Chain A
């Protein structure tokens, strides 16, 4: 399944580094999402974009900065992260928002470790 791809798959960074996560979807979808997945916790929705417009920012710290240049690409820019930000970051896409029953399709995630 290569509908949603994410790079890099693994990332180790120091607290003073700046890095970016990339997501690309090849499904012709119009909505894209960033999630944080920590062990034994529910998926935490971070950001939502619909037709390139950000519609959701769930009280995410400013050290995470999303960018959506077009409906197929989504970035998550990271700077001055904390060790508690270590997690699996998942990107997902769906046909659109707000229509109910929209299945979200996920990428394989980026496993992030902050030292």
Chain B
């Protein structure tokens, strides 16, 4: 079966750095997405990785290793507004998007 694993919940301090991991086992791979979802709101696109390596976008970076079936989302200089759920999703060989259950990130002052 196809599966995406991410931690259920993480806690971090305002101003710090946090890394949210995602591992996947899918039939094929055609790209990996990270989305942010605030409570009661729509998931919003953060990043897309299809090649190995690090993609940096402001305070957020996303890393991919296809050989390890692994990605992480790195959030720097955490702000209270970063409290949200972070969803990892992978396009499989049929271009179906497989979703993880999301990681709820709690930021404390």
Contacts and interface: CB of A to CB of B under 8 A. Distances in A.
Most buried by B among A1, A43, A101, A108: A43
Interface of A: 1, 4, 40-43, 45, 56, 90, 97-109, 111
A1 B38 CA distance: 14
Given A41-B101, A100-B30, A103-B48, A4 B42 contact: yes
B97 A100 contact: no
A13 to B, nearest CB: 19
B100 A42 contact: yes
B95 A100 contact: yes
Interface of B: 4, 8, 30-31, 33, 35, 40-45, 48, 50, 87, 89, 91, 95-102
Contacts of A4: 42
Contacts of B41: 108-109
Nearest to B100: A42
A113 B14 CA distance: 35
Interface pairs A-B: 8 shortest CB-CB: A106-B42, A42-B99, A43-B99, A100-B30, A108-B42, A98-B95, A106-B43, A42-B101
Given A1-B44, A41-B101, A102-B95, 11 more contacts: A40-B101, A42-B99, A45-B96, A90-B43, A100-B30, A101-B30, A101-B48, A101-B91, A103-B48, A106-B42, A109-B40
Contacts of B44: 1, 106
A104 B37 CA distance: 13
18 contacts: A1-B44, A4-B42, A40-B102, A41-B101, A42-B4, A42-B98, A42-B102, A43-B87, A43-B99, A45-B97, A100-B91, A100-B95, A101-B48, A101-B91, A103-B33, A103-B45, A104-B45, A109-B40
A56 to B, nearest CB: 8
Nearest to A101: B31
Contacts of A102: 95
